[in-house]
Each structure stands twice: as C-alpha cells, then as structure tokens.
C-alpha cells in the first residue's frame, strides 16, 4: 500500500524518481555485480594488462593488470561507501550543531555561524589537501580514514542549511504552542521540528555525500589515498600515471568517468526532487 503511494508520488516527481533510480542501479551494480566477478581481480597483477573490452574482460583491463569490470564493481562501491560514511557523519554533526545553535541562539549560535561562514569561504578541497598531507602518510590512507578526513569538512554545509531552516521554523505557530505547553527545547527539536525538517535533512545528506565523493575524487586523483584500492578517484590517478591517452586506452578513461557522472547525477536529481517535495513550486497562488 504505502509502497504503491510512494511509487505514485515518484511518478509526479520525476527528478526524485530518476535520482533514486540511478542510485539504485549503482547500488545493484556494486552488490549484485559481485556475483559475476572475482573480487581479487580488482587488484593489480591479477590479469593480463592493457586488454581492450572483450568477451573475457567486458570492461577491458588496465596497465597494472586489473580486470576493470571487477575494478568498477568494487571501486564504485568503495567510493560510494566512503562518500556515504563521510556524508552521514557530516549530516550528524551538522544536525547537532544546526539544531542547537539555531534553536538556542545566543553566543554559541554566533560562534557557530561565524565559523561556518569562514569555512564556507575556504575551499574545502584545499583544506582536505592540507589535512591529508600533514596528518598521515598520504599514499596509504585506508578508505575509512579517507571517510573520516572527508567528514572534517562535510558538516559545514549541512550545519548552515539546517540552522537557517530551524531559524525560520522557530517562529512558526506550532513551535510556539509546544513551548507554551511546556515542552523542553530538546523535545521540541526532536518531536516537533525534526519531522518537519526531514526533507531538508535529506537534501543536506545528498549534498554532503556528493560533496564528500567529490572531495575523495580530487584527493585520489592526486594520488592521496590508498593506491592499492580500485576506487574511482584512484582509477583517475592511474589513468594519468600510465598516460592512458597516449596509448589509446579509451575504455580505461571512459569507465570511471561514466561511473562518476552517474554518481553525481543521482545525487543532484535526488536533491532537486527533495527540494520540490519540500516546497512545491507548482503550488499556485490565487
């Protein structure tokens, strides 16, 4: 029943439907796809090198001897996992800071707002670069360490969005009522505001995840990250390292590029769709 209503809604909100569809496809590709590959072949020196796509290696192989089909299945999953982990942590911190600072206001809010604004001006990628190069051995970062580093900047945008939503919601009648009824601040945040802000939390999450993926791609393309793992960003790094262009290995370039495009398309469409859900533009004024 509920599922049917949801599917019906997706029909009216094609952006959300399309975005979730692409995301579902990617998730299936990385999970169900594992049934068709040998995960070991996603790593170097497991298959013959430099093979164009063929029946045996449908995605071809690279110059390190990875089966790119296996590499794409494992790597896309890894990149999504990194992005989602960092995005989720970022949203968690963002929600905590956004709700408390927006709701309670005062000096705490002023400080949070100031820090957020300053950090929004500083390009997060450069910040990540600085952190990644000073904190650890750049070429041996494990995926989860990468996710943690990415989450250091992933909370900024969600904090900003959630805080401004809380600020505008604070003035609304039902929050005032709850306050008059003697609900505590935490209760109001959890019981009254949270449910109403769900679409905005979801938008923030989508933004945070795609921001984190972008960050991981940028770092990995520079070789910062685990060079052993076949993440999408690392593929880009090796493509450049082995100058795949000069050697005409188009498949090696094209595959990660398509996967990356799909990932970002999915999250963009999802946030456009969620935005439509949160404030329907088609709502007509009379």
Partner 1 sequence: MTRLIPLRYFLHRTLYLVAVLWVAATLNFVLPRLAGRDPILERLTELEASIGGHRGLWVAEAIDSYREWAGLNQPLWGQYVQYLQNMLNMDFGYSFSRNRPVWDVVSYALPWTMGLLGTTTFISFALGTFAGGLSAWRRQDRLLNVSVSLLMALAVIPPFIIGLVLADTLAFRLKLFPIAGMFTPGRFVDLGDIEWWLDVLHHAAVPALALLLGTAGSWAMGMRGMMVTVLGSDFIAFAEAKGVKRLRLILSYAIRNVMLPQTTLLAMSLGSLVSSVTLVEIMFGYPGVGSILESAIRAFDYNLIQGCVFFLILSIGLATFVLDLSYPLLDPRISYRKQT
Ligand X SMILES: Nc1ncnc2c1ncn2[C@@H]1O[C@H](COP(=O)(O)OP(=O)(O)O)[C@@H](O)[C@H]1O
Q: How far is the CB of 282 from partner 1 (least distance, A)?
A: 11
* Residue 283 interacts with ligand X (CB under 6 A): yes or no: no
Q: Are 219 and 233 in contact (CB under 8 A)?
A: yes
Q: How far is the CB of 283 from ligand X (least distance, A)?
A: 11
* Residue 286 interacts with ligand X (CB under 6 A): yes or no: yes
Among 86, 166, 217, 234, binds partner 1 (CB under 8 A): 217
* Residue 2 interacts with ligand X (CB under 6 A): yes or no: no
Beta bridge partners of 67: 61
DSSP 8-state class, residue 193: I
Which of partner 1, ligand X, none does residue 123 bind (CB under 5 to 8 Å by kind)?
A: partner 1
Sites for partner 1 among residues 227-256 (CB under 8 A):
236, 239-240, 244-246, 250, 253-254
Instruction: Compute the distance between CA of residue 201 and CA of residue 165 in angstroms, rounded to an integer.
Output: 10
Q: Residue 184, Cα to own-chain centre: how many angstroms?
A: 34
- From residue 145, how far is each of 1, 3, 86, 126, 251 by CA, in Å? 42, 37, 10, 18, 30
Among 121, 171, 180, 195, binds partner 1 (CB under 8 A): 121
Q: Are 241 and 85 in contact (CB under 8 A)?
A: no
Nearer to partner 1, 114 or 174 (CB): 114
Among 281, 282, 283, 286, binds partner 1 (CB under 8 A): 281
Render the burial of 274-284: b for 16+ CB within 10 Å, e for the rest.
bbbbeeeeeee
Q: How far is the CB of 284 from ligand X (least distance, A)?
A: 5
Total residues binding partner 1 (CB under 8 A):
45
Angle of helix 194-221 relative to helix 143-154, nearest 10 degrees, comes to 120
- From residue 151, how far is each of 68, 80, 115, 260 by CA, in Å? 29, 14, 16, 20
* Residue 10 interacts with partner 1 (CB under 8 A): yes or no: no
- From residue 103, how far is each of 109, 163, 165 by CA, in Å? 9, 8, 10
Which of partner 1, ligand X, none does residue 117 bind (CB under 5 to 8 Å by kind)?
A: partner 1
Name the residues that contact ligand X, by CB under 6 A.
284, 286
Binding residues for partner 1, per CB under 8 A? 114, 117-127, 129-131, 133-136, 138, 164, 167, 214, 217-218, 221-224, 236, 239-240, 244-246, 250, 253-254, 257, 260-261, 264-265, 268, 281
């Amino acid at each position: 029943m509920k599922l049917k209503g949801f599917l019906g809604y997706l029909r009216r909100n094609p952006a959300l439907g399309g975005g979730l569809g692409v995301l579902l496809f990617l998730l299936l590709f990385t999970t169900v796809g594992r049934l068709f590959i040998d995960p070991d072949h996603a790593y170097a020196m497991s298959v013959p090198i430099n093979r164009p796509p063929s029946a045996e290696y449908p995605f071809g192989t690279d110059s390190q001897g990875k089966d790119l089909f296996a590499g794409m299945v494992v790597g896309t999953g890894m990149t999504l996992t990194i992005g989602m982990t960092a995005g989720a942590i970022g949203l968690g911190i963002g929600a905590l800071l956004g709700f408390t600072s927006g709701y309670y206001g005062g000096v705490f809010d002023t400080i949070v707002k100031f820090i957020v604004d300053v950090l929004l001006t500083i390009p997060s990628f450069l910040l990540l670069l600085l952190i990644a190069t000073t904190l650890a051995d750049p070429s041996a970062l494990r995926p989860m360490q990468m996710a943690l580093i990415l989450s250091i900047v992933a909370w900024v945008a969600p904090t900003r969005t959630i805080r401004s939503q809380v600020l505008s919601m604070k003035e609304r009648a039902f929050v005032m009522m709850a306050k008059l009824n003697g609900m505590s601040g935490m209760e109001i945040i959890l019981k009254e505001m949270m449910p109403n802000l769900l679409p905005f939390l979801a938008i923030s999450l989508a933004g945070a995840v795609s921001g984190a993926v972008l960050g991981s791609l940028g770092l990995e393309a520079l070789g910062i990250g685990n060079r052993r793992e076949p993440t999408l960003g690392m593929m880009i790094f090796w493509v450049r390292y082995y100058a795949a262009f000069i050697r005409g290995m188009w498949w090696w370039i094209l595959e990660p590029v398509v996967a990356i495009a799909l990932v970002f398309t999915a999250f963009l469409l999802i946030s456009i769709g969620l935005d439509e859900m949160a404030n329907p533009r088609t709502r007509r004024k009379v």
